[in-house]
């Protein structure tokens, strides 16, 4: 399920997503990813996603150890895997947490709004999403406003051709591990 998060981006924006998961082991490593587009916006657009998996019910306030200023900017979005709505096109009865019962572990189903208080074990995946981009993105509005789907597909096709040309004969980027 995708959550759409929106805000104004005058400063780096922080979102923390808390997801409780009951039917899995706790051997998940903490993960992080930083993404940007060096060929287009370079460092002018960055998305950083940090994940922490903790055996709790999502009640910790600052697992990512944010400073006071960043805590003030942060918006917390809770995702309830049992009770949040799912689009009918994505729904599968055998993958519905309120109906599923594991034959191997006996875990499930996840019933009611307080299911996470009643199951053991339970884990929360805390995700911190930081989005940064520069003000000039707003000033580029006339470059994309009013484009039709045909225009967008033409841009996509041109970009695909350019990327394929780079892939075939361009300099290899992002494949090197810097030595310490």
Q: What tokens appear for 92 in the block?
A: 């599968």
Cα gap 92→84, rounded to integer Å: 14
For residues 43 and 132, the answer to whether their CB atoms sit within 8 Å is no
Report residue 35's pLDDT band, with 50, 70 and 90 as the boundaries: low
pLDDT for residue 180 is more than 50:
no
Q: Nearest 5°: CA angle at 144, between 39 and 49?
A: 50
What confidence score (pLDDT) does residue 104 get? Answer: 95
| Sequence spans of domains, the chain | 13-139, 142-173
- Burial code (b: 16+ CB inside 10 Å, e: under 16) for 70-87 equals beeebeeeebbbbeeeee
Q: Is the pTM of this model over 0.75?
A: no
Of 3-7, 10-14, 76-80, which range is least confident?
A: 3-7
Report residue 101's pLDDT band, with 50, 70 and 90 as the boundaries: very high
pLDDT for residue 49 is more than 90:
no
In CATH, what number does 13-139 get? 3.30.530.20
Report residue 106's pLDDT band, with 50, 70 and 90 as the boundaries: very high
Instruction: Determine how β-strand 123-133 pairs with β-strand 42-54.
Output: antiparallel
Of 11-20, 71-80, 111-120, 150-159, which range is least confident?
A: 11-20
pLDDT digits (tens, 9 = 90+) for 109-151: 999 999 999 998 888 989 988 887 777 777 878 888 898 889 9
């Amino acid at each position: 399920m995708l959550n759409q998060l929106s805000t104004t981006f005058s400063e780096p924006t922080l979102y923390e997503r808390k997801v409780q998961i009951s039917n899995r082991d706790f051997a998940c490593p903490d993960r992080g990813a930083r993404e940007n587009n060096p060929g287009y916006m370079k460092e002018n657009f960055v998305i950083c996603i940090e994940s922490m998996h903790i055996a709790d019910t999502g009640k910790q306030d600052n697992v990512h150890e944010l400073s006071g200023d960043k805590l003030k900017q942060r918006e917390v979005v809770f995702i309830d895997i049992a009770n949040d709505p799912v689009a009918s096109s994505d729904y599968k009865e055998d993958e519905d947490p309120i109906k599923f019962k594991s034959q191997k572990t006996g875990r499930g189903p996840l019933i009611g709004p307080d299911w996470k208080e009643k199951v053991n074990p339970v884990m929360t995946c805390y995700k911190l999403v930081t989005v940064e981009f520069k003000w000039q993105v707003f000033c580029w509005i006339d470059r994309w406003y009013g484009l039709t789907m045909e225009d967008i597909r033409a841009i996509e096709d041109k970009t695909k051709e350019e990327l394929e040309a780079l892939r075939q004969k361009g300099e290899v980027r992002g494949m090197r591990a810097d030595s310490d």
